[in-house]
Every structure is written in C-alpha cells, then in structure tokens.
Structure 1
C-alpha cells in the first residue's frame, strides 16, 4: 500500500505544481499562527532561509499530527531584501510600498520544503532565487497594481512572475518552482528516494 501524501497548504499555486507533476495528494491547511512563530525567532538572529524552514516544518508537523501514517509536505517562503523580511501586503497601499522598496534592487525568495511522517521531520530543503527588479516609476506601479488587482495581495512580494508580474523584472537567477514557492526537483528526488512515488 502506498503512503498517502498530504500538502500542508491550501495554496492553489503549490497544488498545481504537484498535480502537474502527476503526484496524487490531499491538501490540508495547517492551523498555526505564522507571525507568532516568526516573532519567537525575531531575536535569535535566524536568517530568512531558516525562518522559512521553521515555518514550513511547523506547518508539516501540525498536519502530520492528524495523519500519522501520511507523508506531509510543509512549505513556506520568505522574501528578504538585505535584512528586511517582507510579508504578504495587507492592502493595495502596502503592495505599492512593497514594489517601491523592491524597485531597482535584488531580493531573495527563500522557498523551504519539509517532509514529515507523524511527528518526525525526515527531510528539509531551502531553494533560493535571486530576483532583480527593474527601476519602476511610481505611476507605472499604480497602473500595474490596478491591472492585476487583488492577486497582488496573495504573495510576499506583491507580484506573480507566472503572470503580469514578470514585467517587473530585469533578471532572475533561480528556478521557476522555487519562485512559485515549492522547490519541486529536490522534493521529487526525495519522494523517489523514500519510495513514495515511482522511481
């Protein structure tokens, strides 16, 4: 009998990546307070990649506690510009401020993925994409956000490179899956190694 796979997320983007790769899975959102978990790390000097890993692991362990026989995929993504970590913008004004800050600079998308079985973490990985945004005029940012609408509020950077957000960039160093928020190639390799998918 094959081990059930559960994605500890309701993200349609991450679910689509797994589905497109032919993975049979269930999706169940974790019930954790992400900001509280992050706040506990605030004074520890944790790097943005470490914060993404801790959040991904917390999500996977939360869902894994309800499904001890399943293999649970936890994932999280942080966006870091120098020492600042960005969160999903609360509204369009926050999205505008995000894009103004990122304009003309290179930021990192840190995408963590963790595998948990029951209460045991069996694998961790962080993929990093370096994203260089072109210099954006404030008027263009306003027009861009009006065009894409509320979808800008669904990601930490207030953009989607799989859509019109691609127009914001000058250079991207990293794979598509890491940018969307689930480093698929290392995940698939680990699932094959564990015998969870056909190798």
Structure 2
C-alpha cells in the first residue's frame, strides 16, 4: 500500500482521518484559493481539492495524497471563514432560520500513477431561529472563526441546528470519510 498524505494543516481534517486507523502524514500545500469568475461552489471545491493534492505530488512521489476543500453557501452566495467575531455574528444572524449548504470537495491522487479521483459531497444544515444574544453567547464560548458558516458542528455548534440532511456527516466537518473510504478501496487500500 502506498503511504497516505493529507494535504492540509487543518486539525479537524487530521482528527477525522485518524478515525480510519491508517498511518498518514500531513503537509500543507501552498495554493491560490481564489474563486474564479462564473465558477460554481461545487466547481470551486473540486478544483481546490485537486489542486491541493497535485501541489504536493512532486515532493511526495509514491503517495496517495488526499486533498479537501469546503465552502458554505447561504442564499445562493458563498460564505467563507469569518475570521472575526463581528463577521461570525453577521453570518449567524443572516443564517438564522435558513438553510446553509456545505459543499466539500475531495480528491485522492495517486502520485505514482497520476490517477486522481475527485468528488463533491453536499450536506445541508437547517438553522434554528437565532437571536443576537444567543449568537453572542455561542461565539464567546466556541470562537469558530476558522470555520465556514461560523460554527463547529463537532462541538456546541450543533445546538444551533434545527435539522441536517446529507449522506455523510463528516463532510460537514471538512473531510467526507464515507466517500474517502470508497476512493481508498478503489486504490487497493485495506481499511482495518
């Protein structure tokens, strides 16, 4: 089996991948993550996931390289990581009582053969009606400023949800493990 490389510095993706009990290393690719004009959210995350994997191929020959990227969409508009309390508060106020779509791009590149599997895994969160006071309390506790959508689904953020829909809840955290297992199996990886 080829060794695994996670093309990410995300602690969330690292924690998710460790659930599969497979040895892996991490390296963060340096790519331009700009959104191209007329590019859909799905096209964006698939392109970025593949670019992240390909960016490390030359320096890691003979690896299976996992790339992933995620965006949130609200009212047909891509929303990113808030980075600040004010931006997070605004995102959550806007999302109150609405549906937020998360699209997670996933790529598995065999750097030995050049073969690359790429997919996009959608997941939808229906938000509760949220008032400013509840949002501010949540943000002060969890500080999800590095998370698309301004919440941590693996933590207290789940208290902001009315319901969810999708085939793989791990995609909401940033690495769709069910689809990744399919890709790894197609590459002959034995999952414990």
Give TM class, smaller chain.
Answer: over 0.9
In 1, Cα distance between the equivalents of 2:83 and 2:71?
16
SS of the residue corresponding to residue 167 of structure 1 reads: helix
CA contact (8 A) 2:79 2:149 kept: yes
Question: Aligned equivalents of 1:167 and 1:113: distance in 2?
Answer: 27
Gap runs ≥5 in structure 2: none
**Deviation by residue 1:99-145 (Cα, 9 ceiling, x = unmatched):** 11111100110011101123835201111011110110011111111
Structure 2 equivalent of residue 138 of structure 1? 132
Deviation, 1:197, is 2.8
**Distance (Å, rounded) in 2 between the aligned partners of 1:193 and 1:71:** 12
Query: In the alignment, does 2:151 pair up with 1:159?
Result: yes
Q: Does the 8 Å CA contact 1:7/1:73 hold for their aligned counterparts?
A: yes
Report the counterpart of residue 64 of structure 1 in structure 2.
Answer: 57
Q: Distance in 2 between matches of 1:84 and 1:198?
A: 37
Q: How many residues align?
A: 190
Q: CA deviation at 1:181?
A: 1.0
The structure in which a higher percent of residues are helix is 1
4+ long deviations beyond 2 Å: 117-121, 196-199
Give the C-alpha shift of residue 33 in structure 1: 2.4
- Work out the CA distance in 2 between the residues paired with 1:194 and 1:135: 44
Does the CA contact (< 8 Å) of 1:57 and 1:121 recur in 2?
no
SS in 2 for 1:124: strand
Q: How does 1:58-137 map to 2 (within 5 A)?
A: 58-118=51-111, 120-137=114-131
2:68/2:175 contact within 8 Å kept:
yes
Change (3 A) 1:196 1:132: same
Where does structure 1 lack aligned partners over 5 or more consecutive residues?
none
Question: Cα RMSD between the aligned structures?
Answer: 1.5
